[in-house]
Amino acid sequence: MDVDASTIIAPRPAGRSLHRFANPGQFLRMAARVQPWLTWPALVLTLAGIGGGLFLSPADYQQGDAVRIMYIHVPCAILAEGGFWALAAASLASIVWRHPLADLAAMEIGPVGAAATGLCLATGSLWGKPMWGAWWVWDARLTSVLVLFFLYLGHIMLIRAFDDQQRGYRAASILALIGAVDLPIIKYSVTWWNTLHQPASITLTGAPTISRSLLWPLALCAAGIGLGFGAVVTARLRAAVMERRIGALLAARAEAS
């Protein structure tokens, strides 16, 4: 018995491609093949980036050695936003296409995204003390990221708050879709308001404003930590799918006996 009968819903035509891996057995086989290609490159790239950032890249002429915080802060900031986009996408797949694995994916993305956001806030605070003279300021960028952290926590609690699991999935999906409004606010906060937070040093429309000697370790860290995020979410989702399959098998065995 691969899936619980209550989760089998005929896919809509637009969502047929999303249901390719709806079968837990097929998903587990695919995830097992992908997992090593996420985990090992993540470890290698992250260690190379952090090593390069700590020992090979120079200190910034204004920020000094405090600039090295960015090798963790910037990737975590990217993942804080990217993780919530993934959370919103999983929520949309749940509501629109009733994808059997979408709710599980949202449940497993939430804690990892919250951890990335918390680390982003913590490292930003460590950087802010020597640069701004304060651990925290109610800057538009900082405040909107703090709101994102609370949205993650709200999603984690809401998805587990109901005895009826489907109600929790639906309520959490709605929260994620509404909360996605905060993402463009985070993105454009330094443009819309006068803030202490510096604008992006890397954009799609212009050359980077950061030295290449600082850029290459940052790029390695961003790639490695990004792959690590995917590896952790994949591992959590594999465990959740196996747990659900075992629960369904035990329930079927209990009914048969």
In a domain, 16, yes or no: no
226 contacts: CB under 8 Å, gap ≥ 6: 42, 75, 78, 79, 82
| Residue 162, CA distances (Å) to 3, 156, 245 in order | 21, 12, 21
Among 240, 98, 81, which Cα is nearest to 151's?
81
In a domain, 5, yes or no: no
In a domain, 203, yes or no: no
In a domain, 247, yes or no: yes
Question: Which percentage of the chain shows pLDDT scores above 90?
Answer: 61
pTM for this one? 0.86
Q: Containing domain of residue 143, as a range?
A: 25-196+210-256
pLDDT tens column, 106-133: 999 999 999 999 999 999 999 989 888 8
In a domain, 249, yes or no: yes
Q: Which two tokens stand for residue 134?
A: 């304060």
In a domain, 17, yes or no: no
In a domain, 115, yes or no: yes
pLDDT tens column, 212-243: 888 999 999 999 999 999 999 999 999 999 98
Q: What is the pLDDT of residue 16?
A: 53
Q: What is the pLDDT of residue 233?
A: 97
Number of domain units in the chain: 1
Distance CA 192, CA 141 (A): 10
In a domain, 141, yes or no: yes
